[in-house]
Amino acid sequence: MHYIRFCRPPEVTTSRSHQATVKVVLTITTDLSDAFLSPPNPIQLAIIGAYTERKDDGSTQVVPVHLTQGQGSGPPPTWRAGMRVLKLDLPLPAQLKQPIETIQIRPLSRQLTAMATSDVLPGKQGLIMAVYADMPRPDSGRALNVCFRSLRLTVGDVPVGQPFQIEEDLGESIARHVWDSGVVMVSLLSDICLGPEDGAEGVPPLQSFRSLLQSADRPLDILELGCGVGVMGIGLARVMTLRNKGYPPNILLTDLPEAAEKARANIGRQEAVLGTAAASIDFEPLDWEEGRVGKFGEKATSRTFDLITLCDCTYNTDTLPPLVATLSTLHSRSVERASPASGQHGPDVLVATKQRHTSERAFFDLMSNDGWIIRERTTLPLPMLDGQGQTVEVYLFRKER
């Protein structure tokens, strides 16, 4: 998958002739920004601004403003093989009633755009994820340094609920960005929680994991390690809340302290969508070097967990020993706190990863040596527009000893 990225905040400027122009500098790269898209055919882009208009009856509606480079009916902006950056000056229509509030950039072709979970899986072709940003008012004197991604949660091709939105930083830093495995996992979770009982066509069923999510007789307590911007954990909260039956879960996101700001911002983005009777989502810092010796924060120690999730956390081999030790410590704590009559086997661990180098396989050796077995697994396709397709591997572990 590829991602359109703003290289710097989009801004509105006004020339001496009073022509308002949106200036955009963008690129299209992989999730880690380690390769630019080099498509076999040029890809035309749609650039759409929007503002909110209040109607006579007091309601509001979003008014789109379609932007193109230059005047008249010239060709739309186009990304070609060999490009690294695309700079655009986009004149705003003279008859515009008020300043645009948001801007969206996506492929002009709907078939190339990752707009819904049903686009991502079963993975028929390479896709590009659109980018959105709030626009500061021209007179505000400030620029925004965040953008967001949007993905419709669907059953088949039918949208369910509000789109799933996740905020990330502008630019090419990978630390606070959406990664491929998170997008694929939200699509899989949407299928599991919102789709038919046996899964969408072409998607392996993961029956034990499906049963855990679909058959719980109480709210599940779920912990995510290495949550980053929160894609997987928040996505799980959204799709489980949208289910027609069952209980919304309690989800605790954890990561290093530097992830807190972005994770909490994304939790905040969900409050209006989830409502008061929905899933509980929270964040707490957790360093695996501390977790391996049983040092956890108050939120992590106040409960036991039914499920622990990891998404794209095995790429740094130096962190694998403390990660596995943290998983085993959390498991031991849960078993110790459970009543003997409960038959509690401790939390299952769901791992999603897009292997980036062979050294990541050390994670599985460490898990096996610590008594974790793979209960089930599946491989999800991730085609690419400009090269060999990739995959996201999903594993469900349970501890034997």
CA of residue 308 relative to chain centroid, distance: 17
Contact partners, residue 326, CB within 8 Å, separation at least 6 = 225, 286, 288, 291, 292
Which pTM does this prediction carry? 0.91
Which alpha helices (DSSP H) does 215-287 contain, by range? 231-242, 260-274
**In the beta sheet, which residues pair with residue 395?**
351, 377
Arithmetic mean of pLDDT, 149-177 = 86
> Are residues 243 and 367 both part of a single domain?
yes
> Are residues 164 and 304 both part of a single domain?
no
Output the six-digit token pair for 299: 């939120």
- Whether 174 maps to a domain, the answer reads no
Boundary of a domain, candidates 169, 200, 231:
169
Task: Give the pLDDT of residue 183.
Answer: 96
Task: Give the pLDDT of residue 197.
Answer: 63
- Whether 165 maps to a domain, the answer reads yes
> Are residues 296 and 339 both part of a single domain?
yes
As for how many domains the chain has, the answer is 2
> Are residues 223 and 138 both part of a single domain?
no
**What is the phi-psi region of residue 151: left when phi exceeds 0, alpha when psi lies from -120 to 50, beta otherwise?**
beta
- Whether 20 maps to a domain, the answer reads yes
> Are residues 89 and 200 both part of a single domain?
no
pLDDT digits over 60-117, tens only?
888 899 987 655 556 899 999 999 999 999 988 888 878 889 999 999 999 999 999 9
> Are residues 322 and 185 both part of a single domain?
yes
Q: How confident is the model at residue 275 (pLDDT cuts 50, 70, 90)?
A: low
Task: Give the pLDDT of residue 344.
Answer: 67
Domain membership of residue 85 as a residue range = 2-169
- Whether 28 maps to a domain, the answer reads yes
Contact assessment for residue 96 and residue 65, using Cβ atoms and an 8 Å cutoff: yes
Arithmetic mean of pLDDT, 275-282 = 76
Residue 299 scores a pLDDT above 70: yes
Residue 340 scores a pLDDT above 70: no
| Nearest-angstrom CA–CA distance, 25 and 7 | 6
Residue 130 scores a pLDDT above 60: yes
> Are residues 136 and 234 both part of a single domain?
no
> Are residues 154 and 277 both part of a single domain?
no
- Whether 175 maps to a domain, the answer reads no
Task: Give the pLDDT of residue 69.
Answer: 60
Contact assessment for residue 400 and residue 372, using Cβ atoms and an 8 Å cutoff: yes
CA of residue 214 relative to chain centroid, distance: 22
- Whether 381 maps to a domain, the answer reads yes
| Nearest-angstrom CA–CA distance, 135 and 171 | 16
Residue 202 scores a pLDDT above 80: no
Arithmetic mean of pLDDT, 155-183 = 87
Boundary of a domain, candidates 110, 140, 169:
169
Contact assessment for residue 272 and residue 162, using Cβ atoms and an 8 Å cutoff: no
Task: Give the pLDDT of residue 99.
Answer: 87
Given CA atoms 44, 126, 388, 350 in this order, what sign does their dihedral have?
positive
The domain that contains 244 carries what CATH number? 3.40.50.150
- Whether 157 maps to a domain, the answer reads yes
Boundary of a domain, candidates 169, 188, 219:
169
Residue 339 scores a pLDDT above 70: no
**In the beta sheet, which residues pair with residue 169?**
146
Task: Give the pLDDT of residue 141.
Answer: 52
> Are residues 213 and 261 both part of a single domain?
yes
Output the six-digit token pair for 103: 């801007």
Between 139-143, 158-162, 233-237, 315-319, the lowest mean confidence (pLDDT) is in 139-143
- Whether 48 maps to a domain, the answer reads yes
Contact assessment for residue 294 and residue 329, using Cβ atoms and an 8 Å cutoff: yes
Contact assessment for residue 177 and residue 365, using Cβ atoms and an 8 Å cutoff: no
Task: Give the pLDDT of residue 116.
Answer: 96
Relative to beta strand 164-169, strand 146-151 is: antiparallel
Residue 331 scores a pLDDT above 90: yes
Question: ∠286-350-295 over CA atoms, to 5°?
Answer: 20
Output the six-digit token pair for 47: 């650039």
CB atoms within 10 A of CB 212: 18
> Are residues 237 and 128 both part of a single domain?
no
Backbone phi and psi for residue 233, each to the nearest 5 degrees, phi listed first = -65, -45
Please give the share of the chain, as a percent, with pLDDT higher than 90.
61
| Listed residue (234, 14, 10) closest to 104, CA to CA | 10
Amino acid at 227: C
Please give the share of the chain, as a percent, with pLDDT higher than 70.
90
Contact partners, residue 63, CB within 8 Å, separation at least 6 = 50, 51, 52, 53, 97
Q: How confident is the model at residue 122 (pLDDT cuts 50, 70, 90)?
A: confident
Q: What does the mean pLDDT of the chain come to?
A: 88
Task: Give the pLDDT of residue 277.
Answer: 61
Amino acid at 6: F
Residue 171 scores a pLDDT above 90: no
> Are residues 269 and 143 both part of a single domain?
no
> Are residues 184 and 163 both part of a single domain?
no
Between 91-105, 179-193, 336-350, the lowest mean confidence (pLDDT) is in 336-350
